[in-house]
Amino acid sequence: MKTITMDLTNALAEAVGANGIDAGELATTLANISDYYARLLAKPFAFMTLPETKFQFDEMWTLADKAAAMDIKNLVILGIGGSSLGTQTIFEALLHPLHNMEERFRNGKPRYFILDNIDPHKMAAIVETIIPDIDRTFLVVISKSGETPETISQFMLFNELMRRSPGYQQRIVLITDREKGLLNRIAEKEGYPTLNLPDGVGGRFSVLTPVGLFPSALMGLDIKRLSAGAAGMAAHTVRYDGEENMAFVLAAILYLMDRAGKKIHVVMPYCERLGGFADWFRQLEAESLGKKGLGPTPTKSMGVTDQHSQLQLYVEGPKDKCVILFYSATQEVPIPASFDYLEDVQYLANKDMKSLFHAEFQGTRLSLTEAQTPNISLILDEVSDYNLGALFYLFEMVTAIMGHLLSVNAFDQPGVEQGKIYTKAMMGKKGLEKEKEHTEALLLRRAKTIVF
Ligand code: PA5
């Protein structure tokens, strides 16, 4: 069965000269990973065991079945970073692109609102949209720590809104750490049901836990297939046959690219449904590997749109990038013959958008390669729940392996934590008086400004 094909030809020196990876170097790096991987299999990271353990699947189905009987109109999801990007990715990939716009595309499922920002303008607009149907609104609050100010402040707002309607306790679910954090205390006091993250799984590695799977179950998506895709990829990456192992090879190439000064990883899907996936990976790679002055800079481009925005830079700009392309297109949209008086457009007549899309993808690969910009392509036979689960697992493995190669801890995020502390201090949290003084002193420093 062929579901995802990775083509690394254009990342190798044979295709892109000195900007590519030398085959010998790749083989050496792969051999080094093999030792590490043997250790990892003996003592796997918690995220690696998820496809097997199917953590809290029964609890998720029970709660999702109850919700399905409730005639819900709005699903509101509060969470940020690793607590929201997985759900966003799954919804963008697997729901109808115009899901929220038209009822006929929703198959009886609710509209969804993922509030991963507290921008007051957008918050106000969403609240305004939801209030008329607050009694048909289902709220999922996701925070592993249970302490993130963005999510907690949103929850304070929505908690008060929800309380205006009868039976609201049945329409709120909290997803958080098994024991720690304020959400557990709130759940206990208010009687809200909870789901959890398994021990040892951090936010950005949590998409295949209730964090990504419960909202998906509420939308009627097949979480078993998502998990089966991850299990399939786990089985693929478990056998070490060096150059045939997608996770090892991709991690080794991206690491060698980084070391050779190609420190910008451009993730460029030719498939709008994978736009969310690019955002998800951008966070996974940046927050996991950006440490100790190291770490590649991931960035997102959308094919074909960004051919007319970024491609010039990738082709003729500095050779500091490695482009990771994704491609998937199944739908056919015929281009009818039209404007028969214009010879110049007839090459498009009676063709299909799908073949044009494919030609654009190939055209980009060729022009990058000719300009000696290294590029890798992952081609999906379809954007399915199974393939998406496999991609999640693949890129989590790649990130963990790259962490090892770069000698950084891929599973912490001290830089993010510091920002959280400053925010809480500035907002007057008890116990952070010293930090508050420190931030005030910093903010009082003479600023150099220009006013228009
Ligand atoms: O990946 C991570 O650990 C972070 O991006 C977190 O998910 C994010 O900071 C939100 O944290 P929490 O889930 O504790 O609210």
Helix (H, G, I), strand (E, B) or coil at 113: strand
What is the β-pairing status of strands 264-270 and 334-335?
unpaired
Mean per-residue pLDDT, 364-392: 98
Rounded to whole angstroms, how far apart are CA atoms 158 and 241? 51
Report all structural domains of the chain as residue ranges with CATH numbers, in order of start.
4-41+226-406 (3.40.50.10490), 56-197 (3.40.50.10490)
Nearest alpha carbon to residue 285 among 255, 248, 306, 314: 255
DSSP state of 345: G
Residue 238 has pLDDT above 90, yes or no: no
Give the residue from 423, 407, 402, 396 showing the smallest Cα distance to 203. Answer: 396
Helix axes 223-238, 246-259, angle to 10 degrees: 70
Measuring from each residue's beta carbon to the nearest atom of ligand 1, which residues come in under 6 Å? 80-83, 143-145, 148, 151, 202-204, 287, 413, 416
What would the pLDDT profile of 71-94 be if each residue is shown by its tens digit?
999 999 999 999 999 999 999 999
Helix, strand, coil share of the chain (percent; to 5):
55, 15, 30
Report the alpha-carbon distance of residue 266 to residue 238 in Å, rounded: 27
Q: What residues form DSSP beta bridges with 175?
A: 142, 195
417 is catalytic: no
Catalytic choice (263, 354, 420, 438) = 420
Please give the Cα distance from 441 to 220 (Å, whole number). Answer: 51
Total residues belonging to the chain: 452
pLDDT of residue 242 exceeding 80, the answer is: no
- pTM for this one? 0.96
What integer pLDDT is reported at residue 240 of this predicted model?
62
3-class secondary structure per residue, 270-307: ECHHHHHHHHHHHHHHHHHHCCCCCCCEEEECCCCHHH
- Strands 375-380 and 321-327 come out as parallel
- 332 Cα to the center of ligand 1, angstroms: 39
Number of neighbours of residue 104 by Cβ within 10 angstroms: 8
Choosing from 144, 201, 285 the residue with most ligand 1 atoms within 8 A of its CB, the one to mutate for a pocket test is 144
Q: What is the pLDDT of residues 306-343, one digit of tens each?
A: 999 999 999 999 999 999 999 999 999 999 999 999 99
Q: How confident is the model at residue 285 (pLDDT cuts 50, 70, 90)?
A: very high
Q: What is the dihedral of CA 177, 181, 187, 192, to 10 degrees?
A: -40
pLDDT of 229 over the 80 cut: yes
Q: pLDDT > 70: what percent of the chain?
A: 99
- Residue pair 157/180 in contact (Cβ under 8 Å)? The answer is no
For ligand 1, the distance from its centroid to the CA atom of residue 413, given in whole angstroms, is 9
